[in-house]
A = this chain, B = another copy of it.
């Protein structure tokens, strides 16, 4: 992930990947200097640190960035509460942008779902992933359902109860994410990462589908974060604010 991200970021206007850090094996990128630890890197050499590594490393990165007032973009997931708190403390001294999903398509997809939700009677989400994924439903689908619920509540549009159903097989209606929003998780080999938000009203439907075929889709969103992070921005969750 880091290697591919570095190569693709380096191709973009205004971004130079000058420095690589890998604790396990020396990474390589033409024109960049490699280090085994961030502590060895001369801080004047960099404007922004991008961290897609392990939760434990993220805390060190955050502390290093805070000491040197260097911006930090975090794509690492799975931080526990203490690690997350440490990152937020560091953000008192520098800017940190942290997101679980840097795909601009995913951000827009969630936003459109929330915008449309108050105009439809009922909403369901189907998320489809490869069969090696070990959690269900996906974090993105839960976050999407929460935004949809908030938008419907703000508009005073609550979902009417379903007719009482007879279940021939238990569980067919999926997971209830609140306010009648059902989430269905499909797991099949071949699939990558896909999500459909389906909204239904009298005689019509609106479907917002996002397909991630390749992690290269993160590059544009990471670049957006790099361009927007600075020592004074504090802690920002997600790249939503930078997509006007």
A-side residues, CB < 8 A to B, are 8, 103-106, 108-109, 112, 115-116, 119-122, 124, 126, 128, 131-137, 139, 142, 162-177, 182-192, 198-220, 243
Contacts and interface: CB of A to CB of B under 8 A. Distances in A.
Contact of A136 (B124, B131, B167): B167
A201 B214 CA distance: 11
Q: Which 4 A-B pairs have the closest CB atoms?
A: A188-B200, A203-B214, A203-B217, A169-B175
Nearest to A122: B188
27 contacts: A104-B201, A104-B204, A105-B116, A105-B205, A108-B119, A112-B116, A121-B188, A133-B163, A136-B167, A136-B172, A137-B172, A139-B168, A142-B168, A170-B175, A171-B173, A172-B184, A173-B187, A174-B184, A190-B201, A190-B202, A190-B211, A191-B213, A201-B220, A204-B212, A204-B217, A206-B208, A207-B210
Given A162-B187, A190-B202, 5 more contacts: A124-B186, A182-B187, A189-B202, A191-B205, A204-B213
